[in-house]
Structure 1
Amino acid sequence: QKCKEDMQGRTTSWDLGSLLIKPVQRVLKYPLLLREISLLTPAEHPDAENLAIAVKEIQEVADHINEIKRRKDIVEKIVGDKKRTEINLTRRAQRFRQVTGFASGATQDALFDALNLRFEEQQEIARQLARDLQNWVRHVKEQLDNLQLFACSLETLYSSYGGVRVRSMNNIRAFNQAASVLANALLRELDNTVKSYTLVRIEGFLRVFENPTQVISKRAKKLLDYDRVRDLKSKGDVPDKALQESADAYLSINAQLIDELPKFFGLTTTYFDILIGDLSILQANFYAQLTAEWKKLAILLYDGQEDVDETLEQIVQQYETDMVPVEEMIQEITPLNKTQWNALTTQLLSPSRPPSSEKMHDRSPMEVGNRSVGQLVDLSTSPDINSFLTATPSDEPVFQCVVLYDYEADEPDALSIREGDQLLIWESTEHEEWWYGHLGKQSGWIPACYCKKL
């Protein structure tokens, strides 16, 4: 406002906004202005030397601005151009000549290669984060579903036993109700938050890579044209205009990517840190809610005591003590004890034992606990124990699938797989979240979302 007041009556040509924008609009005219002043300045003038330096430096600024503008125009043009050109027809031939040795090797740019590797790694880390997050939710769901099933079974068992006191029965019902809240309301809230917020933000993070990916793809095509021009010139030939322009475009795209990718990584790193921070808050809130629900149950069971942390610790210690004999009894159940199971089946499959008339069809070792091994296995057609232990859910025909992502099995009956593996899958599990598959001599359960049906 003060400047506007001072300008009153001094000029009618410009307002303040117009004057302020002039240095921006005229930055490329400064070299001409300074050069003219330098030419009109006597050599003995004290400003002559500094003027010469200023002319040189302002010209470098102008050249830099022009080069950046030229690069951006080229990048925008080639990214927006979807038309195929005749040059495309020669790129496969150039690639073939390079692979077979009839042309010199492809031009290497170590700096770009390092940046491109980091570019791919950032995307894969985000994709892996999404897969790990989905796995975490799945594991939480399995745990809470098992807890609810256990609570229901507990109430059914004790309600059928007449010797249980009313207070004990009320406690069991309270436990069942708490398990239901955890497995339904709490889990539903977690699942909705992950799907509607966290996974959406990860997808948004991956979308920012789409345009740079397009530019990198264009660079790879232009590189073939650049190498072709280099080979033609080495033989004394002159490339046509379109091919030369495409080769020149490679230099601009490459320089632009090397200049902008480090800045891009700085922004995406900040973005990813925000994602991880949000995820940690989500998990912390979930476990806080989980703890709060358990404390509600503990207060109810222990006569309304508000400070139940010490009581909960005592419950855990007592539970671990009580479970020692239970675990020993579980180990006595043969199908659940791997050592005993192998010893028993090896003995039953020995040549001295007469063969059974009934053939085993797709039963797991757990199912065999309900019937004798001799009833389930046709010993005359089972050369070793492996064919028995790798039983599958059904005997229907199989289909093939290819593995999209690595998966490390964390359960005894799961199967570890690697990207690119091809598996045979039992059709009876096709529409389930988990598939039962075979890989070589190994078999087990795998997450369906990690595979693609062939």
Structure 2
Amino acid sequence: MCSWKCSLSPGIGGTSVGTKLDPRAPTPVSAAQPLTQTHPCRHPNMASTHEEEPHAEDTADHDAHIYEEVMLCERMEHSQRLAVEELITTEASYVHNLQLCLSDIRAHLEKKQLPGLDLEGLFSNIDDILHVSRRFLRGLQDTTTQEHEQLLSISTLFQEFKEEMEMVYKIYCASYEHALLLVESYRKDPRLQEEIMDTLNATVPHTSASDLSFFLVMPVQRVTKYPLLLGKILENTPANTSTHSALAAAVRAMTQVNANINEYKRRREVATKYNKAEQLTLRDRFARLNPHSIAKKTTRLSRLLMHEAGIVAKTEDKEYDDLEERFQSVASCVTALKENMASYLKHLEAFLLPTPHKCELQMEEGPAQQYRRLAEHLHGTVFPEFRRRLDRLVWQPLCSLAEMLVGPQQLVKKRLDKLLDYEEIQERKRETGSVTYDEEAAMNTYLAINALLVAELPRFNQGAMQLLRQILGSFIVLQEDLAAEVLHEANKELEQMPHGHMPLPAFWRMVEDTLQQSGIQLRTFIQAFETVTPNPVPQPLNPAEERKVRSLVSKHGPDKLYQVTSNVSGSKDMDLTLQRGQIVALLQSVDTKGNTGRWLVDAGGPRGFVPASKLQPYSPGPSQQPSMKTSALEIGTEGRRHSYVPPEAPKPQAATFTPAFQVVAGFSFTARSPQELTLQAGQPVVVLEPHDKKGSTEWSLVEVNGQRGYVPSSYLLTVPVQEPVGWSLPV
């Protein structure tokens, strides 16, 4: 504590006055020497600069004045000591109440796990406040051992903690109003209010608290009381000392802390109004339209257009522009990662959907059974656990991060609107020299939003990037864990395989030899199969197809005809869509880009490109060249097609064979007009024309049991004859 000794030099009579005088009676003062005062409370009249001896009555008055000065110093010292004690004792009580609030009240409510109780919204960052307050209290208590430097130490302590206090208290004070709204809503819920009161009565019955607001208001009250407590100490400190200036600086620092907290709270209130994304229907949007809003939006739009046209200059803010660019980059990364992760999870679910391992295999133990057991273990344990960890460690944090971006994104958009208003008002102010109250409020709104974004975006960007890196790191680790676990399980099964212990080069040589032997056996079988296979049976063409083939032969010649080996679905411009078995004429064996894999063909009307791999040469019989009668027959042996040319004869003999393919009705159809024909499912039909009179392929002219009519083309199927005659499989 600062020394309050009033050391007086020898006075009249040679007697010296001590530090403290007895308040009951004044101490006699010697008249031999003049009085001088070295105490900071010194009054100019307490010492004489002259050597002459004063009168007796003047000496008595002077003694009384000295006594009053000393008593004043003692009263100031006493008040100062009480103010310091109040600062330390109230800080200790405050820290104790915070500990009760966290360790008892909040912990008790957490154990109850009450639905609808938002503990994070109630207590905010009170943990951070308690951490700072504990350290600050230890610093205050350490100053009690520094008698002569205590006030200087207290001043220095406030200067050291002012930034930390501002950081933690501004967050709490900004969310305090929300906490009060929660308390009020819980008070209206009898169930929650009863549980809260039971907690208060069980943990802090001595406080007689009626609700949680008794404890929630303490941090708000404490931070506003620091300047008052320091000011009380300052009032009882002499003005012409270094201690006084240090205390005054501490008072100014804590006053500025409170001012900054209030300004931050005001900015947050402005931002809260705009950072919520509203889901408005079209009707709601029209309901909000009024002359004022239309005029405001028109002014903004015209201002924006003038910016883009270069008519007026934009307000440049390099610091904010850099922060916004980085924020938009982070937001873009989060959005892209969320979309990719959603696609990954979708494909993972599709991968886990088939369960072939659940099928019982009718075979003894062997590689197939081992694979079934491995697949069953992977699908039953490894992959589901990977899916759960992926959801908990990657997907949920990623969704939370994406939700965190919504508020700042809305605020960034609103800042642009307010900036346009701000520029318009500034221009009007330069012209008229004044602004209205509403215009001043609009300008302050822009300044508040801009200041808040400049202050908060750096921390937000840093936190978002850190969380994004953690999410990506978690995803990488999960992939590594999955690969390691699958490899471990596969190695356990591999050890039981017949060739599990074979060196890898030897294993691959064995695989190559096995595949080579299997290929030789397959080629031998194909040769034997072709040897015993009789010539294919020609399939008669319908009249419409015959006319088309005649037209193609007359235009391009028989050597240009090709047959489609499988259905072709055009996917590019100029591509044709053809059915298997159709006859086309080759026009050019390359496409416009020189690609020999796409040929330009004539399909008897439309022309376009088809894959060359789906065409094979077609040789019409002699009867088809002048007058087409038969066509190539497509057989289903290894995807090969054969064109059969019957030998020339004066009179062709009647066929005594059954066709390899026939057209049947795939579904039953009931005629609805005289032009249509009724079909039964499975009934054989003869296709006369694969289109109607208008050329539409949706209807086909068919003949059944001597009757003709139109049926839907989609109802017809081309199927092989069940038991073709003329050949049998080799034995």
The TM-score bracket by the shorter chain reads: 0.5 to 0.7
Residue of structure 2 in register with 1:447 after alignment = none
- Give the structure 2 partner of residue 362 of structure 1: 568
Structure 1 residue aligned with 2:336, among 107, 128, 140? 128
2:109 pairs with 1:109: no
The 1:93–1:131 alpha-carbon spacing in structure 2 relative to 1, beyond 3 Å, is same
- The offset of 1:51, in angstroms, is 5.8
Q: Is 1:91 the counterpart of 2:167 in the alignment?
A: no
Alignment of 1:435-446 (within 5 A): none
**Distance verdict in 2 for CA 1:175–1:358, change over 3 Å:** closer
Q: 1:24 aligns with which of 214, 223, 230?
A: 223
Aligned counterparts of 1:35 and 1:107: Cα–Cα separation in 2: 46
1:230: how far off?
1.7
Deviates more, 1:379-388 or 1:206-215: 379-388
Q: Tell me the residue number matched to 2:610.
A: 388
Higher relative contact order (CA 8 A, sep 6+): 1
Identity %: 18
Query: Where do 1:342-357 residues align within 5 Å?
Result: 354-356=560-562
Of 203, 206, 228, which residue of structure 1 is paired with 2:399?
203
After TM superposition, give the deviation of residue 71 of structure 1 in Å: 1.9
Deviation at 1:255, TM superposition (A): 0.8
2:459 corresponds in structure 1 to 263
1:31 and 1:41 map into 2 onto residues whose CA distance is 14
Residue type at the aligned position of 1:17: S
Q: Write out per-residue CA displacement over residues 51-86 of structure 1, whole angstroms, 9 at most, x where no aligned residue.
A: 665565455444433322332233234447988883
Distance 1:170 1:58, change over 3 A: closer
CA distance in 1, matches of 2:330, 2:454: 17
Instruction: After TM superposition, list the pairs within 5 Å mapping 1:209-228 onto structure 2.
Output: 209-228=405-424
**Native 8 Å contact 1:34 1:54 kept in 2:** no
Question: How far does the alpha carbon of each residue in 1:386-408 deviate from its partner, in whole angstroms, 9 at most, with x for none?
Answer: 843599xxxxxxxxxxxxxxxxx
Q: State the match for 2:425 in structure 1.
A: 229
Q: Contact 2:274/2:414 (CA < 8 Å) preserved in 1?
A: yes
User: 1:288 deviation in Å?
Assistant: 2.5
Question: Structure 1 residues 360 and 113, CA, compared in 2 at 3 Å: closer, same or farther?
Answer: farther
Q: Deviation digits for residues 36-58 of structure 1, max 9, x if unmatched? A: 679x724xx45565466556545
Structure 2: where are the runs of 5+ without partners?
1-81, 96-136, 138-217, 279-287, 521-555, 572-578, 592-597, 600-608, 614-731
Answer whether contact 1:145 1:183 (CA < 8 A) is retained.
no
Whole-angstrom distance in 1 between the partners of 2:451 and 2:583: 69
Residues 318 and 290 of structure 1, relative CA distance in 2, 3 Å threshold: farther
Structure 1 residues 247 and 130, CA gap change in structure 2 (3 angstroms):
same
Pick one of 317, 320, 327 that aligns with 1:119.
Answer: 327
CA shift for structure 1 position 109: 2.0
Q: CA deviation at 1:194?
A: 3.6
Distance 1:135 1:313, change over 3 A: farther
- Distance in 1 (CA, whole Å) between partners of 2:612 and 2:232 is 85
Q: Which of 450, 463, 466 pairs up with 1:254?
A: 450
Could you tell me whether the CA contact under 8 Å between 1:106 and 1:224 is conserved in 2?
no
Once residues 239 and 81 of structure 1 are traced to their aligned partners in structure 2, the CA distance between those partners, rounded to angstroms, is 31
Instruction: Say if 2:495 is the partner of 1:299.
Output: yes
Cα offsets for 1:415-454 (capped at 9, x unmatched): xxxxxxxxxxxxxxxxxxxxxxxxxxxxxxxxxxxxxxxx
Please state whether the residue corresponding to 2:560 is helix, strand or coil.
Answer: coil
What's the TM-score, normalizing by structure 2?
Answer: 0.37
Work out the CA distance in 2 between the residues paired with 1:244 and 1:381. 78
CA deviations 1:367-394 (Å, max 9, x no partner) are xxxxxx9956744688832843599xxx
Distance, in Å, in 1 between the alignment partners of 2:510 and 2:442 is: 73
Deviation digits for residues 10-31 of structure 1, max 9, x if unmatched? 99xx975269877523235478
Amino acid in structure 2 at the alignment position of 1:41: A
Q: Which amino acid aligns with 2:333?
A: I
Partner of 2:239: 41
Could you tell which deviates more after superposition, 246-255 or 311-320? 311-320
Q: Distance in 2 between matches of 1:315 and 1:113?
A: 64
* 3-state DSSP of counterpart to 1:388: strand
Deviation at 1:118, TM superposition (A): 2.2
**Separation of aligned partners in 2, 1:320 and 1:135:** 37
Q: Which moved more, 1:96-105 or 1:255-264?
A: 96-105
Q: Distance in 1 between matches of 2:248 and 2:395?
A: 58
Does the Cα contact within 8 Å between 1:144 and 1:179 map onto a contact in 2?
no
RMSD (CA atoms): 5.2
- Contact 2:422–2:442 at 8 Å: present in 1 too? yes
Task: Tell me the SS of whatever aligns to 1:300.
Answer: coil
In 1: Cα distance, 2:370 partner to 2:353 partner: 17
In structure 2, distance between residues paired with 1:293 and 1:81: 49
Give, in whole Å, the separation in 2 of the partners of 1:110 and 1:320.
66
Q: Per the alignment, do residues 120 and 256 of structure 1 end up closer, same or farther by CA in structure 2, a change over 3 Å counting?
A: same
1: CA distance between counterparts of 2:511 and 2:346?
A: 26
Would you say the 8 A contact 1:41–1:48 is kept in 2?
yes
- 2: CA distance, partners of 1:374 / 1:216: 60
8 Å CA contact 1:364–1:389 kept in 2: the answer is no
1:224 shift after superposition: 1.7
Encode CA deviations 1:319-353: one digit per residue, 9 max, x unaligned.
Answer: 78669979x99xxxxxxxxxxxxxxxxxxxxx885
Give the structure with higher Rg (CA).
2
Instruction: State how far apart, in whole Å, the 2-side matches of 1:197 and 1:377 are.
Output: 59
- Are the counterparts in 2 of residues 360 and 376 from structure 1 also a CA contact under 8 Å? no
In 2: Cα distance, 1:111 partner to 1:258 partner: 8
Greater Cα offset, 379-388 or 171-180: 379-388
> Is the 2:275–2:408 Cα contact (8 Å) retained in structure 1?
no
2:386, 2:482 within 8 Å by CA — same for their partners in 1?
yes
Are residues 320 and 41 of structure 1, via their aligned partners in 2, closer, same or farther at CA, if it must alter by over 3 Å? farther
> Alpha-carbon deviation of 1:137?
5.7
- 3-state SS, counterpart of residue 75 of structure 1: helix
Deviation digits for residues 108-140 of structure 1 (CA, Å, limit 9, x no counterpart): 322222222222222332333334445556777
Could you say what secondary structure the match of 2:316 adopts? coil
Is the alpha carbon distance of 1:318 and 1:231 closer, same or farther for their aligned partners in structure 2, counting shifts above 3 Å?
farther
Distance 1:147 1:66, change over 3 A: closer
Gaps of 5+ in 1: 1-6, 160-165, 330-350, 366-372, 392-454
Q: CA 1:175–1:318 in structure 2 vs 1: closer, same or farther (change >3 Å)?
A: farther
**Residues of 1 paired with 2:386 and 2:372: CA distance?**
20
C-alpha distance in 2 between matches for 1:233 and 1:24: 39
Change (3 A) 1:66 1:205: closer
Give the 3 Å change call, closer, same or farther, for CA 144–214 of structure 1 in structure 2: closer
Instruction: Give the conservation status (yes or no) of the 8 Å contact 2:422–2:446.
Output: yes
Q: Check conservation: 1:78, 1:218, Cα contact below 8 A.
A: yes
1:237 and 1:319 map into 2 onto residues whose CA distance is: 94
